[in-house]
Structure 1
């Protein structure tokens, strides 16, 4: 396959030219256009590497599309997969929670269903994107360690993040934001919310430190990359560095982000944060970290279509040095490297032909086509 007349976004520059693909791999990248029969004319629009998503919980909403409604697992997973590939995300780390902040939640009820559907869909060749398993370990939940250990015996795990969503720290350092979020989510009265807060603080004190230590030790033994979550202080970053975490997911302050970046951790922020202009929890905005030069990775988190949009948004801002190649690395090359995937994430000879053809239409980026391993997937 030949793609020509494209603005080809390489790791460090944009060139106008042609990309040649053979058996799913990029074999040539040439300046200039060709007029060979069968060549696909990209009409001078962007050709970028397929995106690599490290932390999305998009899958779970399809398993329970409404409260009390359990959707057939394979169908739910296929809809999730289609949504990811249509957004230009060709490699997906599906983040599933092995603990939660509330007992009997749909998230916990769907845990085994989601993991089984992911594995079965891969085995049956039902996926358009490549899918990997990311375990989100809520260390303040009493069942997290048992769930984590059980899953490791059942299925390969490619990424683990360690988090504690108890009130008064990290993502919810501001108690009013914690109350607003969980009282709205679970429809709790003031008295019920007070009891909820007491339970969460107690659970964190009981389990978090021990579970964090055990989970990280296991990941080191198995060479599974580790990510911190919602680091807010220098002490949090020192703890993450102690546990040799390679990714700092969603740091909540500039102080934590700068410290993590200086220690060699890849700072990951949410693409919805970029599109919306800030954090829904009142924490640091991703574009502020871009201005400081410490933004390394973007994740679509809960909204797949935000990922490509956010990269071009970062590139268009005046107060940072992220041009189009550097901004696209936030969603392709950098996450691929952080996760140990060396065969994708950039347009280069020998790399997987995971590609996006997109057009800028005023302030919006429109995806024309997506290829996975050289085969059109969207």
Structure 2
């Protein structure tokens, strides 16, 4: 199902409407269409500056944000390609530090869509080609590319060997695509996911990774060894030592003496920051200084990931003293990261109230079971424009998971109004989908920039 996108600019919207009408090529993973499309455009993927390629089930976007913030603290101009967008399509393509403007975006999409007319290309393939074309034409020092889905057959994987690859947190997600039976692939689901993600590793490419359970770790190590790459895993290669709201980073390549304090909330963000540092330490010169790394870690922000909403129309619906958090987590691995944040950061406060909406292809039962010990009650909502779990069914799943109260609502605002009438919980979490989080940011007028 293609991503839905809207723009207030008529020229951009015309091209986004053309994107939305594309065939569901995304349902058939492979590199043939994107390779042909890029060939017609002059192979812009071969004209990129120093490139960092990042895969993972969760945390890859935050890792990209840390990479960009550190590089920009170093004074470098940085391109970035990430997905999905939360409010505006422009968020996907950042050129030399600035979101792509409407006029250039409309022109690029028109050019790429015209070339893709007979290819049955997908939404993501066209978007990826447009990003590569922009990156090839606009000067920059570095390029950060986030994998869209999987790795081995993701459209971004037509790039030549990057300076460094990174693999963040791994979990089971997108089963219909990544676990489809295929000869020569691992049978065990966790190993198969790891094998697919490690598909971004290319010959002579150093790769930084998290530490994983033995089967996953062995799968990635074998893949790295098979192409002659260099493996730099958490634990054996680099480590972080958390202490309160800061952490220290050390590695075989040297350590950072000063404590590093991320702006982003949650212990998992310290690990994401640690992975970004590991990737930068593997990269060819120029290397960022310790001071530049510290500034980048402190300034990095990735909207919609355990983010505390500021003052706005949505937060105004709740009584004073209530905090509204948003997090786009939508799988079991993300739920575990959320519960760690809830237990460690919000442990001194009452159980949370949850506003939840989830896409139909997500395991809502497992997600709710993980959150249940921390939740007082749930307001379930739809996700307009996407196939989603019906709020009535989602509420029943919440009750089955052991949550004391679950009530379906029509939208986020009505859910918050209901909570405002009786909410001893001082923390409200809006979660379950990045699309839902995007709605929350839009309603609260906190647009990613």
Q: TM-score when scaled to structure 2?
A: 0.26
Q: TM-score when scaled to structure 1?
A: 0.30
Whose strand proportion is higher, 1 or 2? 1
Query: Which structure ranks higher in relative contact order (CA pairs < 8 Å, sequence separation ≥ 6)?
Result: 1
